[in-house]
A and B are shown apart, each in its own frame.
Chain A
Amino acid sequence: MKKVFVILSIAMLLASFAFGAGTIKIGVAFPMTGNIAAFGEMTLQGAKIAQALYPDVLGKKIELIVADNRSDKTEAANIVSRLIDYNHVVAIIGEIASSHSLAGGSIAEKAHVPMLSPASTNPLVTQGKHYVFRACFVDPFQGHVAAVFAYKNLKARTAVVLTDVVQDYSVGLSNFFIKDFVAMGGKVYREFYQSGDQDFSAQLTDALSKHPDVLYVPGYYPEIALMARQARQLGYTGPFLAGDGAEAPQLIKIGGDAVNGVYYTSHFNSAHPFTSIGKKFVAKYEATYKTSPSALAALGFDSYLLLRDAIKRANSTDLEKIAEALRTTKNFEGATGYITIDKYGNTIKSAVVNEVKNGKFTYVTTINP
């Protein structure tokens, strides 16, 4: 009996090897649980839509191997090691939060495995790295867009910036916003918090005593939702402005009425796709998930297609060749616009500003670089 079992399991093991040889493995390093789990879920849905539309390359099926970083920096590095050493992936889509991409990126860099972040906007993510790329714009641009929007559209002159001190994304974006907002003649006060905090009443009491025209919160949706509720309870009726980290259905579910009047800079709005492939993506996504795709879903979609395109142009699964092909991506048509990756691994694209209005993410305007 035992013998039969051993033989069977060996046979199954061999079969899985044989089956595995026919696929091209791409690792996906996302936060699927924890604080920012909604980001992982949305981005993965986008990538899966791309996989459904374009399932193969070089005559082989593309296999996505998903690893969960539990919204944790240390785990973010661990899963990249695991995807490389254990799953032997040829490229990685990930990670989402900039601090996670910084942790995971240095591992991918050492192993020379190309890693493409769908949504990490902090400039440091790709700086000095040859194998780390991104499918989104960078924060100096996003901060600039926010400052222009706050000053010109919201007519704000006094802003309080609330920075999440443990997120590289938030620290970077705050600084870029302040630089441009002050240069235009605005006045800035600062408050601080950290991811996972649930009580912001002390910071908000202090912030509101400065009578700000806008609260700029370049953090992630869980904290923004709770902060908006507490600010409204403390009597604040003005607008919030946030970065692309605000967009998740949970912002509205948790924030309720309090998040009406939250503006945020983003990559994409499903009501205004930039390209024809964007329209195709929105249609397929809505047919599959019965809801409109978020910016992160669009970026997940684009990341998959960018990697597939790079593997196709490299005409091989050689790591160096894929990285080189990614580095020379020119005017690639994605859902979030025409993507060109420069020699630093960054992309240049337009940004949109959305607003939460009556519990819905509503398109406001597009700002070009």
Chain B
Amino acid sequence: MSSSNLIQDIINGLLLGGLYALIAIGYTMVYGILRLINFAHGDILMWGVYFALYAVVALSMPWWIAFVIGIALAGLLGFTVEKVAYKPLRSAPRISSLITAIGMSFFLESLAVVVWGGIPKSFNIYPKFFNRTLIFGHVRIQMLTFFILGVTFILLLAVLWLLYRTNTGTAMRAIATDIPTTSLMGANVNNIISLTFIIGSMLAATSGIMWAMRYPQVQPYMGFVPGMKAFIAAVIGGIGSVPGALVGGFLLGMTEIIVVGLFPNLAGYRDAFAYVILIVLLMFRPTGIFRVYSEQKV
């Protein structure tokens, strides 16, 4: 592999890794606070993209308002999902909420097939500017790369600020350790949990819109693979840890691209590599790269 190819691969890897990281941040935040693996995360992502798409197609809004609407409606959807599906099970065994999350994921996918139809749609509502490429010799960088990396870092900082610099964040971290005690301390547990879901879903929709800008194919099952990969990224980084999600996302994206770049014949087994990394890492560091809460009740 020539050096220009390697540089191109690293740039491609940054782009893919940035997308994984962005999705993983939302995933890991909800897990870190509620200890719930929200399998519907990828599907809320998909709904957010559809909301944004239809805000432009059906209501002919400008693209940036559509993005905001898509993200806001996804937040509302996350709020509803939590109230309907997860809240009644808060005191039930953990496995019940996990199964409910899987059921919710199927439900949201099937509902999308009914509402939006099963045919893939094109996400071509954003300005052409993002598709422009910068050329340095043999290396090409899509404008979108900078945008995605920028958004990822801003959201990472915003989530960290929320968790560690605000009262709400303190309450969120308290809920992560012990719900009854937190409510005794005067925090409104229901509101905080709703807020966590709303923020998590808005993060999902944001990452979904970025994903659709890079891979402009919108269909009801589009959230499954990114959701799965982001879950792996979050586990690699140490699920529950926000910086861990970022590291895990970049590690996964970069590995997938570099492995294919080095061994083109193995490209068909690219997903297998993601799982192999996960298995090997969990063998040596069962809590992921960033350890969160060593004593665990799960």
Chain A interface residues (CB < 8 Å from chain B): 32-35, 37-38, 41, 68, 163, 165-166, 190-194, 196-199, 201-203, 205-206, 209, 222, 225-226, 229, 233-235, 250, 253-254, 256
* B216: A residues at CB distance < 8 A: 226, 229, 254
Q: Which of A35, A165, A250 contacts B268 (CB 8 A)?
A: A165
Segment among B73-81, B259-267, B274-282 that sits at the interface with chain A: B259-267
* B142: A residues at CB distance < 8 A: 233
Nearest-Cβ distance from residue A95 to partner chain B, whole angstroms:
16
Question: Are B217's CB and A199's CB within 8 A?
Answer: no
Nearest-Cβ distance from residue B92 to partner chain A, whole angstroms:
31
Nearest-Cβ distance from residue B45 to partner chain A, whole angstroms:
13
Question: Are B264's CB and A203's CB within 8 A?
Answer: yes
Known: A33-B113, A198-B215. A253 touches B121 (CB 8 A): yes
> Which residue of chain B is the closest to A171 with respect to CB atoms?
B268
Segment among B8-16, B186-194, B237-245 that sits at the interface with chain A: B8-16
How far does the alpha carbon of A254 sit from the alpha carbon of B217 in the complex, in Å?
Answer: 6
Known: A250-B120, A256-B122. A209 touches B267 (CB 8 A): no
Question: Are A35's CB and B12's CB within 8 A?
Answer: no
> Which residue of chain B is the closest to A198 with respect to CB atoms?
B215
Segment among B22-30, B219-227, B287-295 that sits at the interface with chain A: B219-227
* B256: A residues at CB distance < 8 A: 199, 202
Nearest-Cβ distance from residue A195 to partner chain B, whole angstroms:
10
* B113: A residues at CB distance < 8 A: 33
* B133: A residues at CB distance < 8 A: 233, 235
Question: Are B267's CB and A253's CB within 8 A?
Answer: no
Nearest-Cβ distance from residue A70 to partner chain B, whole angstroms:
8
Most buried by B among A34, A201, A234, A254: A201
Question: Are A202's CB and B225's CB within 8 A?
Answer: no
Question: Are A202's CB and B221's CB within 8 A?
Answer: no
In the complex, given contacts A68-B118, A202-B9, what are 4 additional A-B residue pairs having Cβ atoms less than 8 angstroms apart? Answer: A202-B259, A250-B120, A250-B121, A254-B122
Question: Are B118's CB and A37's CB within 8 A?
Answer: yes
Question: Are B257's CB and A201's CB within 8 A?
Answer: yes
> Which residue of chain B is the closest to A205 with respect to CB atoms?
B8
- The answer to the question of B135 belonging to the interface, with a C-beta cut-off of 8 Å to chain A, is yes
* B183: A residues at CB distance < 8 A: none
* B16: A residues at CB distance < 8 A: 199, 201
Known: A233-B133, A233-B140, A233-B142. A41 touches B261 (CB 8 A): no
Question: Are B267's CB and A192's CB within 8 A?
Answer: yes
How far does the alpha carbon of A95 sit from the alpha carbon of B124 in the complex, in Å?
Answer: 31
Question: Are A190's CB and B265's CB within 8 A?
Answer: yes
> Which residue of chain B is the closest to A165 with respect to CB atoms?
B268
Q: Which of B8, B122, B261 contacts A253 (CB 8 A)?
A: B122
Question: Are A201's CB and B225's CB within 8 A?
Answer: no
Question: Are A202's CB and B257's CB within 8 A?
Answer: yes
How far does the alpha carbon of A37 sit from the alpha carbon of B1 in the complex, in Å?
Answer: 38
* A222: B residues at CB distance < 8 A: 120, 217
> Which residue of chain B is the closest to A42 with respect to CB atoms?
B119
* B122: A residues at CB distance < 8 A: 250, 253-254, 256
* A191: B residues at CB distance < 8 A: 264, 267
How far does the alpha carbon of A191 sit from the alpha carbon of B120 in the complex, in Å?
Answer: 25
> Which residue of chain A is the closest to B1 with respect to CB atoms?
A206
Q: Interface 1/0s, chain B 104-129, versus A by CB < 8 A? A: 00000000010000111110100000
Q: Which of B2, B5, B120 contacts A37 (CB 8 A)?
A: B120
8 Å CB interface, B1-44 against A: 1-2, 5, 8-9, 12, 15-16
What are 11 A-B contacts defined by CB distance under 8 Å? Answer: A34-B219, A38-B120, A166-B268, A192-B268, A202-B267, A205-B12, A222-B120, A225-B217, A233-B133, A235-B140, A254-B120
Question: Are A256's CB and B5's CB within 8 A?
Answer: no
Question: Are A203's CB and B260's CB within 8 A?
Answer: yes
Q: Which of A34, A199, A226 contacts B221 (CB 8 A)?
A: A34
How far does the alpha carbon of A34 sit from the alpha carbon of B133 in the complex, in Å?
Answer: 31
Nearest-Cβ distance from residue B233 to partner chain A, whole angstroms:
14
Question: Are A202's CB and B260's CB within 8 A?
Answer: yes
Known: A201-B12, A225-B217, A254-B122. A206 touches B5 (CB 8 A): yes
- The answer to the question of B270 belonging to the interface, with a C-beta cut-off of 8 Å to chain A, is yes
Nearest-Cβ distance from residue B120 to partner chain A, whole angstroms:
5
* A250: B residues at CB distance < 8 A: 119-122, 217
Question: Are A256's CB and B124's CB within 8 A?
Answer: yes
Q: Which of A193, A205, A226, A256 contacts B215 (CB 8 A)?
A: A226
Known: A37-B120, A205-B8, A222-B120. A192 touches B217 (CB 8 A): no
